[in-house]
Amino acid sequence: MKIMSDLPLQNQRVLVREDFNVPMNDQGEIINDQRLQAALPTIQTLLTHNAAIILLSHLGRPTEGVFEQKYSLRPVADYLSKILQKKVRFELNYLEGLEIQPGEIILCENVRFNLGEKKNDPVLAQKMAKLGDFFIMDAFATAHRAEASTCGIAHYLSSAAGPLLEREIKALKQVMDHPEKPLTAIVGGAKVSDKLVLLEHLVKKVKVNTLIVGGGIANTFLAALGKPVGQSLYEPALLNEAQHIMQVAQDCGCFFPLPEDVVVAETLSEHVVTQIKNIDSVCDQDRIFDIGPQTIRHLTEIIQTSKTLLWNDPVGVFEYAPFAAGTKAIASAIANTPESFHQYSVAGGGDTLSAVEQFNITQHISYLSTGGGAFLEYIQGKKLPAILAL
């Protein structure tokens, strides 16, 4: 796979697919610019080559072929102009051609307003390809989608991976293919059904030394062992699959710790009365929303003796203060691992990034992935269409 530095970009028209799918409030103001900041090194490098830069992105999930003001990228063009301190021209209609000079930057309107984008229509991809001399795919977060602007263009234009995409792949390969052991994976979330493929892949293929599960996922595994989970979220139809994964872990020599104590309540709210219970003492009316202090102590020890760490999704309902302690403890354990230990950590998934930000440990994570679905599919061992196209 070629990377951006392999291409002769000086004074050339360069088409760049970025991920500017940023959250905005009702006034159209950007409330989290993490993805914009992540793309800046790519844009700035192209400026040093005096390239004519044509930026492509999607925003939200508009009805394809229909303009919807709330999904317009115009606020992103204004925001980029400020942080780059250079005019970013916004173009509403661009498929029939663009006038642009070396050193200029254009942001094109939401690619999902174009009919055929999501179906990777070759006619649309060719129209886009005619806009530039080279194509740079830099949007890892959309690399799992075979769409005209992520995948199709690469078939009609000399293409390469951008620096952001390159960094993502290197970081994930370091964890998935060449990890320093012991390797620990933390997988949270609500449903085992969403993570079955991932959990088995981590155990059998990646060969993690320890697999920590949290959230509703952990409840299903507890129930599979015959532990009481009360009214907690779990998936009774997947108890056999949970038992199978635990058996595979045992056969592979993978340590699979489950919560020993938990934080329970009868309802989920900010001011609810909570209790800490041993897992065997959970009552019929209880709902498990977080891990308890004894479990936290054991997981902290595991995390701080791991040379490589992969974290996907929180271990409790951290958005509510009474149930934030478990996820905060995971974050603190990573942050407080001595620098001299040289732990390499990668975190990904939207809720994970929210937790990392909430508990102020961004600077302590070796690599924060910008991908949600793409991150999950990559660590499941799936081939991502946009990367295959490159």
> What local confidence, expressed as pLDDT, does residue 29 receive?
92
Identity of residue 100: I
User: Sorting pLDDT into bands at 50, 70 and 90, what band is 324?
Assistant: very high
Element (H, E) at 54: strand 52-56
Q: What local confidence, expressed as pLDDT, does residue 194 receive?
A: 87
pLDDT at 146: 97
Q: How many CB atoms lie within 10 A of CB 276?
A: 15
The H helix count followed by the E strand count for the chain is 12, 14
Question: E strands, 74-140, where?
Answer: 88-91, 105-108, 134-137
Question: Which pLDDT band, with edges at 50, 70 and 90, does 372 fall under?
Answer: confident
Lowest mean pLDDT: which of 164-168, 221-225, 370-374? 370-374
Average pLDDT (202-218) is 96
Give yes or no for residue 70 having a pLDDT over 80.
yes
Contact 73, 110 (CB under 8 A): yes
pLDDT for position 77: 98
What are the start and end residues of each CATH 3.40.50.1260 domain in the chain? 4-164, 179-379
Contact by Cβ (8 Å): 365, 344: no
Is the separation of the CB atoms in 41 and 155 below 8 Å? no
What is the residue-wise DSSP string for 241-259?
HHHHHHHHHHHTT-B----
CATH no., domain 4-164: 3.40.50.1260
pLDDT, position 389 = 96
**Mapping DSSP to helix (H, G, I), strand (E, B) and coil, where does residue 356 land?**
helix
CA 202, chain centre distance (Å): 17
**Least confidently predicted of 101-110, 158-167, 372-381:** 372-381
pLDDT of residue 252: 96
Share of the chain above pLDDT 70, in %: 100
Q: Rounded to whole angstroms, how far apart are CA atoms 147 and 136?
A: 15
Position 34 scores a pLDDT of 85
Could you check whether the bond before residue 182 is cis, i.e. omega within 30 degrees of 0?
Answer: yes
d(CA 128, CA 390): 16
Look-up of token digits 């934080």: 263
- Cα R_g (the chain), whole angstroms: 23
Q: Report which listed range, 176-190, 344-358, 359-373, is most confident.
A: 176-190
SS3 state at 31:
coil
pLDDT tens for 107-151 read 999 999 999 999 999 999 999 999 999 999 999 999 999 999 999
HEC-encoded secondary structure of 290-326: EECHHHHHHHHHHHCCCCEEEEECCCCCCCCHHHCHH
Can you tell me whether residue 354 is helix, strand or coil?
Answer: helix
pTM, 2 dp: 0.90
Q: Which of 74-83, 255-264, 366-375 has the lowest mean pLDDT?
A: 366-375
- pLDDT given at position 249: 97
Residue 347 phi, psi (nearest 5): -125, 140
- Is 6 buried (19+), middle (13-18) or exposed (0-12) by CB count in 10 A? exposed
Find where tokens 């159209």 sit: 28
In CATH, the number for domain 179-379 is: 3.40.50.1260
What confidence score (pLDDT) does residue 124 get? 98
Mean pLDDT, the chain, as a whole number?
95
Tell me if residue 262 falls in helix, strand or coil.
Answer: strand
Query: Residue 350 — very low, low, confident or very high, per pLDDT cuts 50/70/90?
Result: confident
> Residue 241 above 90 pLDDT?
yes
Please give the Cα distance from 172 to 190 (Å, whole number). Answer: 23
Residues that are catalytic: 35, 191, 350, 373
Question: Which band of pLDDT confidence, cut at 50, 70 and 90, is reported for residue 213?
Answer: very high
CB-neighbour burial class of residue 132 (10 A; exposed 0-12, middle 13-18, buried 19+): buried
Which residues sit opposite 345 in a β-bridge?
Answer: 309
